[in-house]
């Protein structure tokens, strides 16, 4: 017996305007499950209705190809591209004053809220608008066989069409006409678009090509670091469309009744298993979205990662079962995810030695030290600076300045032969404690691994957590042609915050305090010596990843690198890469693109590195790498500026000098090495030189200020110079925004204050001495030039000794500490030649200290007092091997750098150890560190005018620093210059500013 066909709910109140039934009802079934199955089957979309899904993917493919074409052809550097970059780079930040005051009162720091860049906002807006348009615009249900261009040929049920019960009959087939809008058609259509977005959401989350299509090098080459935010928003868009799908279906099921029982269709829907699968999938998707929000992801990253990996495949499988008519979208997304996981897992096993064992590769040079061992370093003379060295076997020779600087490979070889750096065994992290609650990890992977400068890795340390990995940027360069494994050493600088990083710091600190050299329970290779300082921990990496692979640094005339705090890892990697390329190396062997100095297509003439740090002691993080770069590339091709934001300068009386050589705009006389401005003259008269010298000799020694009348340093943020307390709070927050990420702890460990003060004084004395001796050298040069103008016997008498390298340009470059040039010149003249005259009769080089001196150091880096002899029983803990065989052993426990651990180990003491080489590096680099923060607008404008072509800016730092750099770049981009052929109007940005 059949049921009478009726239209119930709201539909029965509409007049009949058409015989087309937009809401088909099934025939009579006695079984409830059979009835609901027939009901839902009649409400499936036709195959033609999925045209909207195909349109979406055609649009995505077209945008990918267009974007890839623009990137490959470099069209963004042209006139139109400049206009686009000028607008698209900008991003905005904001923060409530009350929230800032509360955070500072609690001793916390929070980065301001920020919007994505304009380009990212446009991309997200396009995705949302297109997805919603394809979900709602146009008819929902296409007549079978109809296409968008043939809809007018099909019968259409309009939006206002409703069928009365008298004209309705049970249906056994879905509608054969086009339906504009119904609750069920809208529900099915939004659900279909949500399914369509599943593969896109997964593609935005994948990290390894070829499965991560967007990161393929010949396409957009955009990696997860640039797509993570879009992946998150795409997931929320899928959730929103799924919610609309659920709501629309709920309305339809609530409106329709089964006439035989009078119950709403919703009651019977719960008897259908696929309906329950759909609700379960929606619940899992909701949990995924909730656990991905910052309130949970930030403090509970491990739990977020685990839930993501667990819930996501379950959700996809249930969604596919829920609606098998379009389940290919779910299976495509799942296949991409599983395929990439298998590919990465295989790569992971090979890289970390599970296939090839844990043995180090054999060195090509038998003289090189074994990996995992320590070779004592012979004494390096004070009179020799690194960039005057040439390596010939095991001998050290001084060369004339006219000889080219040593190549990067020779620096690597010299470090291997004579350096005292410890090379860890393959597969083990060498962890060392640094100031600022920072841990330096160094690793050589057992399997071959190459990476691009600026890329990051996922780090796994089983001693901390076996099941999760965390992303950190590599601070080193992959030198594929290096003769030792040290050339492919991964270096990471990890600052302790909360969670995993804090556990890492506490573990290394505990092992160091207990004089343990490796983590208990982990076996160390039998032929490996333990490190003189620090500890060994088993470690694995996954990668490399990162969109810095897109950057073609060598095509730009000037490379400007800006780093804030621990963001120096990105800048150091790129800086070392560019320094090696400028020294003549081919970037192809360094993980980058083909090209180097003197090779076709390589246009870089100058590199500038700007680093903002919180304390002077933090320069230890990068001191060795910076000095190596300064050894390979001399000024002005390489300029290093370090700004210390937490070092308040003394506001002493200013002394206005008239220097005899061009000074940098940021130089007040004793703070920076002489850096020429592009508009200043390189020669001054002897009269003005002598006047400046007399003025300098009588007054410069009394100057004790770190301020400048004409400077690119901003000192206005220092608290105490203003009476408005609220404004001081804002200023403190603003300066922290440039160096600190959320969670960074600025609590000074015992001993760091001493290091801060000593490094500050060292740098100040070096800058003062450099400036004064530079005056004397230029005076002698000018005198030689004047003497050479007199003609004797018709022949000129050129100077036989040149203290400063001859340059084709009339502008004089930045000098290294001039004492090294004087000592070097004397050494080059030979033992029988009379020494050159002193730089000035009133200038004496600083006297090295007998305790803890460093090569080329103006003052002892760490003044110490002699410690009385101690018996074995009086030693609180054994000294390290390095400490007992070097001058570092002169430290007593009371004079060493001592830091307390966390409260749980308050009774244990650890020492931040530095060896002699690192002390020397810190001493040299200290000259480049000064108090204040840079005026980015002025610095960038200066680099634009100085440049010979386009500029690329590499930036890595907190959100506020990134926003400030973007604003400055947008202001300096000048499309009109490009239109006139002046490429100085083109500025590209390569930034690492993602958050996970």
Q: Using one digit for the tens of pLDDT, what is the confidence trace for 675-699?
A: 444 333 333 334 444 444 444 333 3
pLDDT digits over 40-52, tens only?
Answer: 999 999 999 999 9
Average pLDDT value for residue range 891-917 = 49
pLDDT digits over 789-846, tens only?
Answer: 544 444 333 323 222 333 333 322 333 333 333 333 333 333 333 333 333 333 333 3
Choose the weakest-confidence range: 528-537, 856-865, 940-949.
856-865
pLDDT digits over 276-333, tens only?
Answer: 999 999 999 999 999 999 889 888 888 999 999 999 999 999 999 999 999 999 999 9
Choose the weakest-confidence range: 389-403, 411-425, 523-537.
389-403
Average pLDDT value for residue range 525-534 = 87
Tokens representing residue 942 in the block: 């200066």
Helix axes 183-203, 118-136, angle to 10 degrees: 150
Query: Given pLDDT bands bounded at 50, 70 and 90, which one contains residue 202?
Result: very high
Q: Identify which of 669, 566, 574 has the alpha carbon closest to the alpha carbon of residue 612.
A: 566
Tokens representing residue 869 in the block: 């002899």
Contact 769, 819 (CB under 8 A): yes
Query: Given pLDDT bands bounded at 50, 70 and 90, which one contains residue 119?
Result: very high
User: 856 Cβ partners below 8 Å, 6+ apart?
Assistant: 382, 385, 817, 819, 820, 920, 923, 924
Cα separation values, 465 from 24, 409, 462, 503, Å: 57, 37, 5, 9
Tokens representing residue 630 in the block: 């300064």
pLDDT digits over 481-506, tens only?
Answer: 887 778 889 999 999 988 899 999 99
- Triad 700, 854, 371: Cα angle to 5°: 145
Choose the weakest-confidence range: 36-50, 337-351, 358-372, 576-590.
358-372
Domain boundaries, the chain: 9-69+119-350, 70-118+551-649+715-746+935-996, 393-546
Distance CA 372, CA 443 (A): 11
Q: Going along 402-539, which residue ranges are E strands?
A: 428-434, 438-443, 456-460, 470-473, 490-495, 535-538
Give the per-residue pLDDT at 129: 96
**Residue 31 region by backbone torsions, left for phi larger than 0, else alpha for psi between -120 and 50, else beta:** beta
**Residue 612 region by backbone torsions, left for phi larger than 0, else alpha for psi between -120 and 50, else beta:** beta
Cα separation values, 17 from 25, 43, 157, 164, 584, Å: 19, 22, 10, 10, 82
Give the per-residue pLDDT at 706: 52
Q: Is the pLDDT of residue 338 over 80?
A: yes
* Percent of the chain clearing pLDDT 90 (strictly above): 46
pTM: 0.78
Helices then strands, counting H and E runs in the chain, come out as 25, 25
Superfamily of domain 393-546: Translation factors (2.40.30.10)
Distance CA 54, CA 195 (A): 12
Q: Identify which of 655, 783, 649, 768 has the alpha carbon closest to the alpha carbon of residue 716.
A: 649
Q: Is the pLDDT of residue 863 over 50?
A: no
Residue 280 DSSP label: H
Distance CA 750, CA 590 (A): 40
Distance CA 709, CA 586 (A): 43
Peptide bond just before 715 cis, omega within 30 deg: no
* Among the four given CATH numbers 3.90.320.10, 3.40.50.80, 3.40.50.300, 3.40.50.2300, the one describing domain 70-118+551-649+715-746+935-996: 3.40.50.80
Give the per-residue pLDDT at 529: 86
User: 433 Cβ partners below 8 Å, 6+ apart?
Assistant: 439, 505, 508, 509, 512, 534, 899, 910, 912, 913
CA dihedral for 62, 67, 70, 73, sign (positive or negative)? negative
Distance CA 623, CA 918 (A): 7
Give the per-residue pLDDT at 354: 86
Give the per-residue pLDDT at 912: 67
**Choice between 299 and 706, residue whose per-residue pLDDT is larger:** 299
Residue 380 DSSP label: P
Query: Given pLDDT bands bounded at 50, 70 and 90, which one contains residue 858?
Result: very low
pLDDT digits over 717-755, tens only?
Answer: 665 443 444 444 445 557 888 998 888 877 777 778 888
């Amino acid at each position: 017996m059949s049921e009478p066909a009726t239209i119930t709910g709201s539909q029965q109140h509409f007049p009949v305007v058409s015989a087309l039934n937009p809401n088909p009802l099934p025939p009579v079934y006695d079984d409830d499950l059979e009835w609901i199955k027939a009901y839902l089957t009649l409400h499936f979309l036709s195959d033609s209705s999925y045209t909207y899904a195909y349109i979406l993917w055609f649009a995505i493919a077209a945008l990918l190809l267009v974007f890839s074409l623009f990137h490959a052809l470099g069209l963004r550097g042209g006139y139109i591209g400049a206009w686009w970059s000028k607008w698209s780079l900008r991003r905005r930040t904001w923060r409530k004053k009350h929230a800032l005051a509360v955070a500072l009162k609690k001793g916390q720091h929070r980065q301001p809220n920020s919007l994505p860049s304009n380009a990212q906002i446009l991309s997200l807006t396009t995705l949302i608008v297109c997805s919603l348009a394809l979900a709602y615009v146009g008819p929902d249900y296409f007549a079978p066989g109809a296409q968008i261009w043939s809809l007018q040929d099909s019968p259409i049920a309009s939006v206002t069409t409703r069928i009365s019960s008298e004209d309705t009959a049970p249906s056994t087939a879905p509608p054969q006409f086009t339906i504009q809008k119904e609750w069920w058609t809208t529900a099915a259509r939004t659900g279909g678009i949500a399914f369509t977005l599943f593969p896109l959401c997964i593609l935005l989350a994948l990290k390894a090509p070829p499965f991560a299509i967007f990161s393929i090098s010949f396409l957009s080459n955009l990696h997860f670091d640039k797509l993570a935010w879009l992946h998150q928003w795409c997931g929320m868009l899928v959730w929103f469309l799924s919610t609309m799908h659920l709501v629309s279906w709920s309305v339809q099921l609530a409106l329709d009744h089964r006439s035989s029982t009078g119950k709403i269709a919703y009651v019977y829907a719960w008897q259908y298993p696929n309906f329950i699968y759909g609700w379960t999938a929606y619940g899992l998707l909701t949990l995924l979205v909730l656990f991905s929000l910052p309130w949970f992801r930030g403090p509970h990253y491990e739990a977020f990662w685990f839930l993501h990996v667990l819930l996501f495949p379950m959700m996809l499988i249930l969604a596919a079962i829920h609606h098998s008519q379009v389940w290919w979208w779910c299976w495509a997304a799942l296949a991409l995810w599983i395929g990439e996981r298998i590919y990465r897992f295989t790569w992971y096993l090979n890289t970390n030695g599970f296939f090839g064992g844990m043995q180090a590769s054999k060195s090509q040079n038998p003289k090189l030290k074994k990996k995992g061992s320590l070779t004592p370093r012979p004494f390096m003379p004070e009179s020799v600076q690194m960039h005057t060295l040439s390596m010939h076997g095991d001998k050290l020779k001084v060369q004339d300045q006219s000889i080219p600087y040593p190549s990067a490979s020779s620096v690597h070889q010299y470090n291997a032969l004579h350096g005292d750096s410890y090379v860890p065994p393959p597969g083990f992290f060498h962890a060392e404690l640094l100031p600022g609650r920072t841990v330096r990890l160094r690793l050589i992977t057992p399997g071959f691994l190459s990476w691009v400068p600026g890329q990051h890795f996922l780090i796994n340390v089983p001693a901390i957590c076996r099941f999760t990995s965390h992303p950190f940027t590599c601070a080193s360069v992959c030198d594929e042609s290096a003769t030792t494994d040290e050339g492919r050493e991964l270096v990471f600088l990890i600052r302790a915050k909360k969670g995993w990083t804090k556990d890492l710091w506490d573990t290394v600190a505990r092992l160091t305090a207990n004089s343990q050299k490796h983590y208990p329970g982990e076996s160390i290779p039998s032929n490996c010596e333990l490190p003189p300082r620090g500890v060994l921990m088993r470690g694995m990496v996954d990668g490399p990843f990162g969109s810095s692979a897109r950057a073609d640094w060598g095509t730009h005339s000037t490379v400007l690198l800006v780093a804030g705090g621990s963001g120096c890892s990105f800048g150091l990697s790129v800086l070392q890469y560019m320094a090696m390329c400028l020294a003549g190396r081919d970037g192809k062997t360094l993980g980058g693109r083909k090209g180097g100095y003197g090779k076709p297509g390589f246009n870089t003439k100058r590199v500038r590195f700007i680093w903002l740090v919180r304390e002077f002691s933090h320069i230890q993080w990068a001191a060795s790498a910076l000095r190596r770069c300064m050894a390979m590339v001399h000024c002005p091709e390489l300029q290093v500026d370090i700004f210390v934001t937490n070092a308040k300068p003394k506001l002493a009386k200013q002394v206005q000098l008239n220097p005899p050589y061009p000074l940098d705009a940021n130089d007040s006389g004793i703070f920076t090495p002489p850096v020429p401005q592009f508009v200043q003259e390189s020669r001054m008269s002897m009269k003005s030189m002598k006047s400046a010298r007399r003025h300098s000799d009588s007054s410069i020694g009394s100057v004790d200020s770190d301020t400048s009348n004409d400077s690119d340093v901003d000192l206005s943020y220092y608290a105490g110079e203003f009476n408005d307390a609220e404004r001081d709070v804002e200023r403190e927050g603003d300066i922290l925004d440039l160096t600190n990420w959320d969670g960074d702890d600025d609590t000074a460990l015992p001993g760091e204050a001493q290091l801060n003060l000593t490094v500050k004084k060292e740098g100040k004395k070096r800058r003062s001495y450099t400036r004064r001796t530079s005056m004397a050298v230029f005076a002698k040069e000018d005198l030689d030039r004047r003497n050479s103008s007199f003609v004797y016997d018709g022949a000129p008498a050129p100077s036989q000794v040149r203290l400063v390298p001859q340059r084709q340009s009339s502008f004089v470059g930045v000098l290294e500490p001039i004492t090294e040039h004087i000592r070097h010149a004397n050494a080059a003249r030979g033992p029988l030649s009379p020494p050159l005259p002193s730089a000035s009769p009133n200038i004496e080089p600083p006297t090295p200290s007998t305790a803890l001196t460093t090569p080329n150091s103006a003052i002892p880096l760490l003044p110490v007092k002699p410690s009385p002899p101690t018996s074995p029983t009086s030693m609180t803990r054994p000294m390290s091997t390095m400490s007992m065989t070097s001058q570092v052993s002169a430290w007593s426990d009371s004079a060493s750098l001592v830091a307390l651990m966390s409260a749980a180990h308050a009774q244990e003491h650890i020492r931040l150890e530095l060896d002699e080489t690192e002390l020397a590096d810190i001493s040299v680099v200290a000259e480049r560190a000064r108090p204040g923060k840079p005026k980015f607008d002025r610095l960038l404008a200066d680099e634009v005018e100085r440049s010979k072509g386009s500029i690329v800016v590499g930036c890595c730092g907190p959100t506020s620093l990134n926003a400030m750099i973007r604003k400055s770049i947008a202001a300096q981009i000048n499309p009109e210059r490009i239109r006139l052929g002046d490429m100085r109007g083109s500025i590209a940005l390569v930034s690492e500013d993602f958050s996970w």
